[in-house]
Each structure stands twice: as structure tokens, then as C-alpha cells.
């Protein structure tokens, strides 16, 4: 275990000089306004990739308690971070368990809302959905919903034996709890901040994390793929039999077919938040073709007999023309009947009515430019 000593090295005379250790209280540093801010601004100081989503979080029912920091890890687990300035006290494990229990009921929508409030209050910019997608990927909502057991990280300079014993016992019971030991050193007016993980021992944890992450990712991916295939297989069989479409089932959140325009397809999308039919345009000509189609919006809507949403997807090479309904989840079997009806209605309209009209407009325009 780390012994708390740090030395300055003199390379010329091959000597070392001990650097004085200090404390938060001696340096008049505060738990909330210093330690908490350091971690908020540099969450990787805790030894892993974390996204802070709330600070001084009090979004609990029937209590005024606040947890110091709330984060997400790269697997979508909520992480409760409880900071103590110099001494852990004897009740910090119980306090952290309460916060973890409170947070275990948060849905992906609530997590997104709380993160947006954090961004608005402390950073004054940024869209929560975009940052969560950057951090976890397009399926972040699903990942957060699956991983409903929050982790705990306790940060303190000193730990009482009651705390370390409780943390070790909780880990033996399957609760992911870490203890991080902080140390402060002083060189003249400069303060050095050192962080060491003491529970579990870092080397043992690294191995278990690699094994656990691989198993969790494999199990989660397998479950998602099975559920997606169970939804798409009967739907695509019905579409192909009834309307003569040629759509293959998939273990992803989308299926589709091409319709004669390069880099374009008719797509059926069902994920954790929406169900959507779209004409998807990609490639070098995507924006040019999208602008052309948007100028002919009325003609396209007349062809399909439905209002269409045109989404240029600024910042991406692709663009989309779609009909979308929010509030549906491919992994919720209770919603499958309504989703089935939606795709049975709109798939033939997109393939037989909308796609041919899109092709006609694009072909006509591109033939003009080649003459």
C-alpha cells in the first residue's frame, strides 16, 4: 500500500529530498469548493473514464440529502462519488449506499434531464443527448436502463477501519465500491495532489474489470441482438409475403432496402426511443439531392398522402426524409403490436409510392445536368 511519502530527485548528486505532506485543513482547502471541483473538472483523476452528470445532486424524493457528484462510466453505469476532505468518518459507506439506492430508480430520460440541468447551470452550453451519445454511443439510453445498479466511489485522505471493512464486505457481496486515498504535498507555495486506489488493489481490479467488461458487453449485445431479431423476423416476413418487398430481418435496430438511387435506401428504424420510416441519402451528392427533394416537398407528400419531415442532418454527410413517432422502444414487447401496425402501413407506401417519386425527381434533375 502507498506509504504517503514523496521525494524530489536531484539527478546531479543522486540524492532525494523528502517533500512535506500537508492536509486540506492545514491549507484551508474545502471539501465542496476545492476537492469536489478538482474531481468535477478532472474526473479521470479517479483512475477511469467518467462523465460527470450532476454536482450537489438533490433530485431525490422525500429527502433533502445531496450527493457530491454523480457520474456515468463507459458501460453506462451510474457512479455515486462521495468526497471527504481529511477523514472518511465512520458513516460514509452507509451514506453512499443510500445515495446509490436513490439513484437506482433513475430512468434514462431522468438521467438525460439531470445532465442537461448540470450543463445549463455549470457550463452554460451543450446538449445532453449529444454528449451522452459521444460518450456512450447511439444506444446510450438503452445502456443506462440495462445497468440499473449504481457503483460507488469514496474519496478521502484517511479511512477509518469501519469504512474499509465495510467496503471489502460490500465488494464480496457484489457491490462495486472503490476507496480512493488522496494525499497533499507542499513545495514552497505549490500544492501537489496525489490519488491512489486502495480498495480494491488496482492490479487485481484491472484484471477483474477486463473479464467482467467482456462478459457484460457480450451478454448485453447478445440480448439486444436476440430481441431485435425477434421483432424484425415476423415483420419482414409479413411485408415480403403481403407486398412483395425484399427486406431481410436483422439483429440490429434497423432494416432496409435500396431503391435504385446510389447511396440511398428505404429504412425501417426502431430503437429505444422512436420508430421511424425514412428515405436515407448518403454519399457526396446527399445534400444536393436532399435540397432538391425538399424543394419538391409538396409533390412527395402528395405521392405518399402523408406529411413528411425533412432532416438535413447538418454536420453529417447524410440526410433523411422521414415519418417518425416518438415514445416507442423495440425492447418493450408491449409496444410491438403498435409498432408492427406502423411498419405494415408505411413500408409499402415508402417503397411503392415515395421511393419511385424520389427516384423520378433525382433522375430528371441529374439528366438535365448531363445534357
Whether 216 is in a domain gets the answer no
Whether 217 is in a domain gets the answer no
Angle, vertex CA 227, rays to CA 237 and CA 243, nearest 5? 15
| 13 shares a domain with 118 | yes
Our measurement of the distance from residue 211's CA atom to the centroid of its chain's CA atoms, rounded to an integer in Å, reads 21
| 133 shares a domain with 261 | no
Whether 112 is in a domain gets the answer yes
Structural domain span for residue 356? 244-370
Residue 351's domain is classified under what CATH number?
Answer: 3.30.1460
Residue 114's domain is classified under what CATH number?
Answer: 3.40.1350.10
| 257 shares a domain with 190 | no
| Cα–Cα distance measured from residue 143 to residue 133, given in angstroms and rounded to the nearest whole number | 11
Which of 173, 200, 227 is the last residue before a domain boundary? 200
Whether 170 is in a domain gets the answer yes
Whether 282 is in a domain gets the answer yes
| 68 shares a domain with 189 | yes
| Cα–Cα distance measured from residue 359 to residue 262, given in angstroms and rounded to the nearest whole number | 10
Whether 213 is in a domain gets the answer no
Q: What are the tens digits of pLDDT across the range 109-164?
A: 889 999 999 999 998 888 999 899 888 887 777 777 655 689 999 999 889 888 98
pLDDT given for residue 230 in this prediction? 92
pLDDT given for residue 2 in this prediction? 45
pLDDT given for residue 141 in this prediction? 76
Model-level pTM? 0.55
Would you say 22 and 184 are in contact if contact means Cβ atoms under 8 Å apart?
yes
Percent of the chain with pLDDT over 70: 91
Give me the number of domains the chain comprises. 2
| Segments in the chain below pLDDT 50 | 1-2, 204, 207
Whether 70 is in a domain gets the answer yes
| 90 shares a domain with 13 | yes
Whether 208 is in a domain gets the answer no
Amino acid at each position: 500500500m502507498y506509504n504517503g511519502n514523496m521525494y524530489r530527485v536531484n539527478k546531479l548528486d543522486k540524492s532525494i529530498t523528502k517533500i512535506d505532506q500537508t492536509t486540506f485543513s492545514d491549507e484551508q482547502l474545502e471539501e465542496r469548493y476545492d476537492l469536489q471541483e478538482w474531481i468535477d473538472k478532472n474526473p479521470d483523476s479517479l483512475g477511469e473514464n467518467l462523465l460527470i452528470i450532476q454536482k450537489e445532486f438533490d433530485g431525490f424524493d422525500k429527502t433533502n440529502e445531496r450527493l457530491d457528484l454523480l457520474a456515468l462510466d463507459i458501460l453506462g453505469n451510474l457512479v455515486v462519488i462521495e468526497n471527504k476532505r481529511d477523514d472518511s468518518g465512520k458513516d460514509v459507506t452507509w451514506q453512499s449506499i443510500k445515495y446509490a439506492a436513490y439513484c437506482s430508480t433513475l430512468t434514462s430520460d431522468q438521467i438525460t434531464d439531470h445532465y442537461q440541468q448540470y450543463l445549463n447551470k455549470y457550463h452554460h452550453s451543450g446538449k445532453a443527448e449529444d454528449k451522452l451519445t459521444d460518450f456512450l454511443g447511439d444506444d446510450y439510453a438503452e445502456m443506462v436502463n440495462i445497468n440499473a445498479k449504481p457503483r460507488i466511489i469514496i474519496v478521502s485522505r484517511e479511512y477509518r477501519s469501519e469504512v474499509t471493512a465495510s467496503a471489502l464486505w460490500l465488494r464480496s457481496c457484489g457491490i462495486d465500491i472503490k476507496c480512493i486515498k488522496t494525499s497533499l504535498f507542499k513545495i514552497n507555495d505549490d500544492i501537489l495532489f496525489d490519488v491512489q486506489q486502495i480498495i480494491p488493489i488496482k492490479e487485481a481490479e484491472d484484471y477483474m474489470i477486463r473479464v467482467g467488461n467482456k462478459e457484460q458487453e457480450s451478454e448485453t449485445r447478445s440480448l439486444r441482438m436476440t430481441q431485435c431479431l425477434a421483432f424484425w423476423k415476423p415483420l419482414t416476413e409479413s411485408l415480403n409475403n403481403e407486398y412483395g418487398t425484399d427486406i431481410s430481418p436483422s439483429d440490429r435496430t434497423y432494416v432496409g432496402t435500396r431503391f435504385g438511387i446510389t447511396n440511398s435506401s428505404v429504412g425501417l428504424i426502431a430503437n429505444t426511443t422512436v420508430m421511424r420510416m425514412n428515405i436515407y441519402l448518403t454519399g457526396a451528392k446527399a445534400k444536393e439531392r436532399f435540397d432538391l427533394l425538399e424543394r419538391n416537398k409538396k409533390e412527395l407528400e402528395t405521392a405518399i398522402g402523408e406529411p413528411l419531415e425533412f432532416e438535413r442532418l447538418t454536420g453529417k454527410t447524410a440526410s433523411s426524409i422521414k415519418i417518425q413517432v416518438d415514445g416507442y422502444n423495440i425492447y418493450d414487447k408491449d409496444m410491438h403490436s403498435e409498432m408492427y401496425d406502423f411498419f405494415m402501413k408505411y413500408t409499402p407506401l415508402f417503397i411503392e409510392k415515395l421511393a419511385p417519386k424520389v427516384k423520378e425527381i433525382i433522375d430528371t434533375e441529374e439528366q438535365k445536368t448531363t445534357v
